[in-house]
């Protein structure tokens, strides 16, 4: 359990109004009752793509459909579609909250439903996460697709599955 102990960063400990605290408050439930599935990074702090220190927040797209039925290519398409909403004012009322939240970068969501106009038949949701460097191969984001653990009950908090639990073949693929 020491490996799974993820301390809150100092900036979050000093800000008890930041909704990212929801993730840390539900971390034990996530690690004890969460399900493993595929996730796709929608956006992340740019520092997570560099070899720096300290974890950072970001947004992950996922589906609670059975993992074997998830089309990762479709997850990629939906994530790109969502990211393109950043900085826009969509005419579609269902897309406005997503565009606003992605543009703001300080709004936190946990299980925000993606409208079917974007996700099609696959039920997709997006949640704010915290990327723990010690849980990622190479200690940074190398690939936008990764295994995640998600709380199947609200709030749908998510975190990347710690790499200790990844098969070696997946680690090699992800690092490419």
Distance CA 10, CA 164 (A): 25
- From residue 131, give the alpha-carbon distance in Å to each of 74, 88, 104, 134, 140: 23, 26, 19, 9, 9
Taking residues 74-98, report their average pLDDT.
95
Q: How confident is the model at residue 5 (pLDDT cuts 50, 70, 90)?
A: confident
pTM for this prediction: 0.94
User: What's the token pair of residue 74?
Assistant: 């479709």
Q: Is the pLDDT of residue 156 over 60?
A: yes
Q: Is the pLDDT of residue 1 over 60?
A: no
- Alpha-carbon dihedral sign for residues 69, 72, 75, 77: negative
Q: How confident is the model at residue 7 (pLDDT cuts 50, 70, 90)?
A: confident
Among 148, 141, 176, CA closest to 55: 141
Q: Where are the domains of the chain?
A: 32-175
Taking residues 31-51, report their average pLDDT.
94
Among 94, 110, 96, 106, CA closest to 150: 110
Percent of the chain with pLDDT over 90: 88
Rg (CA), the chain: 15
């Amino acid at each position: 359990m020491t490996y799974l102990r993820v301390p809150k960063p100092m900036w979050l400990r000093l800000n008890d109004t930041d909704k990212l605290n929801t993730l840390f408050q539900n971390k034990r439930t996530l690690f004890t009752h969460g399900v493993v599935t595929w996730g796709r990074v929608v956006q992340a702090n740019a520092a997570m793509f560099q070899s720096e220190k300290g974890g950072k927040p970001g947004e992950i797209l996922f589906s609670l459909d059975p993992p074997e039925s998830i089309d990762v290519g479709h997850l990629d398409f939906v994530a790109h579609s969502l990211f393109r909403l950043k900085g826009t004012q969509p005419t579609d009322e269902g897309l406005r909250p997503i565009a606003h939240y992605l543009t703001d970068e300080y709004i936190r969501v946990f299980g925000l439903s993606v409208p079917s106009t974007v996700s099609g038949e696959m039920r997709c949701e997006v949640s704010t996460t915290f990327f723990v460097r010690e849980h990622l191969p190479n200690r940074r984001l190398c690939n936008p697709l990764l295994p995640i653990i998600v709380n199947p009950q609200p709030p749908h908090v998510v975190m990347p599955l710690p790499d200790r639990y990844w098969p070696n073949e997946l680690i090699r693929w992800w690092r490419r």
